[in-house]
Amino acid sequence: MREGSAEGARPRLEARGLACVRGGRVLFRGLGLAVGAGELLLVEGPNGAGKTTLLRVLCGLREPEAGEVRWAGLPLRRAGMVFRASVVYVGHAPGLKDDLTALENLAVAAALGGRAPAIDPREALARVGLGERAHVRAGALSAGQRRRLGLARLLVRPASLWVLDEPLSAVDRAGAGLVADLLRGHLDAGGLAVVTSHAPLGVPGERVRTLRLEGGAVTEGAA
C-alpha cells in the first residue's frame, strides 16, 4: 500500500465492460475484473487470446474499444500521473538499450520513475543475480539475464501495481524462484499484480485469482 496510501486512496484496479478488437477480430468483450491490495490476477489463455493486449489496456498503453479501467476509483485517463507513478510494466519487449550496460539501463529506468530509486541500482542488480554483470552491455547478456535485468526495474521503482507479461519466459529455475520471491514480497507488502504466465508462479494460491481468456469467452475463478 506504499503508493496508494500516499495518495490517500486504496490501490485498486478495476475494469468494466472491456472490449478489444485486433485485426478485425474481437479478442474479448464485456470483460470485468477487480484486483485489490495483496492480490494477484493471473491471466491465462492460449496464444493469441489477447492476454498481452489486456495487459497493455490495463496499464494505459492502449485504449480499449469499449469499457473503462479505473485505478483507485478514477478512470485511467483522469488518474493520469498518479496512476503512472503507481505502475511498473514489464512486457514482451525488454525495455533495454543493447548498447548500454546493465547498470546504465537500470539508472535510466530509475530516473524515469521521477523520484529517488527505492534501492540503489547496483543493489537491485545484485538481488536479481547480475551483480557481476553490471558493466556488461545489455546486448551481450543472455536472454534469461536480460529478463532478470528487466525485472530489476521492479526493485528500483516503488510501485503498487506490477503488470508482468510472461515474467518466467527464458529464465532458469533460479530465476523462477526469484520471480516468486519478488511477487510474494510485493503481495505481502500490500501490492497488486496482474501477470500472464504459462508456468506456475510459486505464489500462495489464496492470493491468486485466475482470469481465463479463450476465443472471446472470459471465465473467472480461483486458482
Partner 1 sequence: MSAGAAGAFAALVRRDLLLAWRRRGDRLVPLAFFVMVTALFPLGVSPERAVLATLAPGVVWAGAVLATLLGMDTLFRSDLEDGTLEQMLLSPLPAPVLVLAKVLAHWLVTGLPLVLAGPVLAGALHLPAHAQPVLVAGLLLGTPALSLVGAVGASLTVGLRRGGMLLPVLLLPLYVPVLTFGAGAVAAAAAGLPAAGHLYALGAILALAATLAPWAAAAGLRISVA
Output the smallest distance, CB 22 to partner 1, in A. Answer: 11
The correct pick among 77, 115, 143, 174 for binding partner 1 (CB under 8 A) is: 115
Task: Supply the Cα-derived Rg of the chain in whole angstroms.
Answer: 17
Residue 109 interacts with partner 1 (CB under 8 A)? Answer: yes
Q: Name the residue among 198, 204, 214 with its Cα closest to residue 183.
A: 204
Smaller CB separation from partner 1, 59 or 179: 59
In angstroms, the CA 179 to CA 98 distance is 23
Of 66, 107, 118, 223, the one binding partner 1 by CB under 8 A: 107
Residues 58-77 that bind partner 1 (CB under 8 A): 59-63
- Closer to partner 1 by Cβ: residue 74 or 82: 82
Contacts of residue 208, defined as CB under 8 A and 6 or more positions apart, other chains included, come to: 39, 40, 41, 42, 201, 222, 223
Count Cβ atoms within 10 A of the Cβ of residue 51 and give its class: 0-12 exposed, 13-18 middle, 19 or more buried. Answer: buried
Q: In the complex, what is the shortest distance from the CB of residue 105 to partner 1, in angstroms, rounded to a whole number?
A: 9
End-to-end Cα spacing for the chain: 24
Q: Establish if 95 lies at the interface with partner 1 (CB under 8 A).
A: yes
Q: Closer to partner 1 at the Cβ: 99 or 181?
A: 99
- Using CB under 8 A as the binding rule, whether residue 122 contacts partner 1 is answered as no
Question: What grid cell was written down for 188?
Answer: 505481502
CA distance 170 to 173: 10
**90-to-31, 55, 164, 221 alpha-carbon distances in Å:** 22, 10, 5, 25
Find the binding residues for partner 1 in span 166-195 (CB under 8 A). Answer: none
- Interface pick for partner 1 out of 104, 120, 123, 172 (rule CB under 8 A): 104
**Contact with partner 1 (CB under 8 A): which of 38, 113, 144, 216?**
113
Q: Which residues bind partner 1 (CB under 8 A)?
A: 56, 59-63, 81-82, 84-85, 87-89, 91-100, 104, 107-109, 111-115
